[in-house]
Amino acid sequence: MSSKILSRTSEKYIDFTEYLALVQKAESRWQQFCKTYLPVESDYSIWRSSRLGNSDDAEQGWKLHISATVLSAIEIFERVAPFLQKNNILFKAPNSLKELKKINSGLFYGFSQVGKFITVYPKTTEIAVEIADRLHQLTEGLSSPPIPYDLPLRQNSCVYYRYGSFSSLAITNPDGTQTPAVRTPQGNLVPDLREAQAAVPHWVTDPFIHSSRSLSSGSAPKASQLQSTFRAYEALSQRGKGGVYRALDLSVLPARLCILKEGRKAGEIDWDGRDGYWRVKYEAEILSSLKLAGVKVPEVYATFQAGENFYLAMEAIEGETLQALLQRSKKLPIQEAIQYGIQIACILEKLHAAGWIWRDCKPMNLMRSQDGTLRAFDFEGACQINALDPVPWGTSGYLPPESLSASAQIQGVSQDLYALGSTLHQMLSNKLPTSEELKAPIGKLRRGIPRDVRAVIVALLDRNPTLRPDAQTVRRVLQAAEAS
């Protein structure tokens, strides 16, 4: 078994212990920075600040955001923090690089927060313009993800800007919740929007007249930026590493629907150097390989690069995810759940026989077509059985207990088998696979489940990965239960 991972930045394999050492060294360095430049912390926030607020600090104005990846954060901070501190400019940054990674995913704190590593609060517009140029000079050439809905100071700049509130201005809604707000020249509070075309309110003039109006990463890519044979028309999801769009493939007659998956350069870059671009390009290769092996996955129509991003155009499977079906159904009939279980086990059986591990088997990644056939998708985190990826990948509830321990790097097909057990448990119990739910015997949560089916679920969820039955065994057990 391999304990090495491919680094995109060096194109060499690095040992898992090197990977951990890299993370620990960077986090240790970051904590030193926090003590020196970000002494103000809060028990209720992920942010640390350079100083307490002063009475002469502005209530609102031009915010500057400096974007960074976990790999560029240390160097960027080393370059800009002394300058900001020397000029007594208020700024904040996350309390750990682990939090920066979560920010850049767009999943934990919202897509609009992607890339917002350092937030700078200039006291005046004049100061904002002056220091923005200096911050750009200090960070020029370094890697960073685009910040959705903010405007870039220059093309390929790490510095972005928007007009917004510096303090806790908010509108109290009828239900008691609060919406961030800014004050108009008339003194009225209006929502401080984090969306496309909202970075510059209509009542202010953009002082950064030299800024580059590049494509907002919060909207679907323009047709002119893609191959002429594809037209993206609807964004299905957005996160730091890229978007997923519904599109038209005009290379055939009649035109056909397709799914366009985008991998952004520096998007959600990990400590191993793999970003959204790498992930989507990698997935395209996996899908083609699995298709040849007879695994029911979407067909790859085309791959191409547009700008600095990579795109995968693939078959659009009509239907709904298995997760959507489970949410819509109060309780899935036992026989129907067993039939779906057979299909999932068959998918894993063929996938493992082809030499691959999925590492993200779950109802959300299984599409149910109108005839009840399940198709698997989303293979960005897959790895080969003979070249295991020690970097953790998967979804809470479907990850085995050993994934949280030091032995995580030697996981193999057992991770998929545990996820299969979680999925079977979920289909039959109609409960999300939390740790507490999975501890409860499936027979106590629902009557009428065949004994052998109950037994195989218990075996798949065994804490000892060597005791989990393989996918072929599970398929045969479920098929026997279906026939009885």
Of the pLDDT bands very low, low, confident and very high (cuts 50, 70, 90), residue 434 is confident
**What was the pLDDT predicted at 12?**
46
**pLDDT of 61 over the 90 cut:** yes
CA 115 to chain centre: 13
DSSP annotation of 324: H
Stronger pLDDT, 216 or 174, i.e. the higher one: 174
Percent of all residues in the chain with a pLDDT value above 70, rounded to a whole number: 91
Given its phi and psi angles, is residue 172 left (phi above 0), alpha (psi -120 to 50 degrees) or beta?
beta
Tell me: pLDDT of 134 over 80.
yes
Q: How many CA atoms lie within 13 A of 90 on its CB side?
A: 21
Out of 209-213, 353-357, 422-426, 429-433, which region has the weakest mean confidence (pLDDT)? Answer: 209-213
Q: Is the pLDDT of residue 451 over 80?
A: yes
> Is it the case that residue 397 has pLDDT exceeding 80?
yes
Say which residues have a Cβ less than 8 Å from residue 280's Cβ, sequence separation at least 6: 241, 242, 261, 262, 263, 310, 311, 312, 380
For each of the domains in the chain, give its residue range(s) and CATH number, in order of start. 26-191 (3.30.2430.10), 223-315 (3.30.200.20), 320-483 (1.10.510.10)
Q: What is the mean pLDDT of the chain?
A: 88
Task: Kindly list the strands in the beta sheet with 366-368, ordered across the sheet, starting from the edge strand earlier in the chain.
Answer: 320-321, 366-368, 374-376
Strands 366-368 and 40-41: unpaired
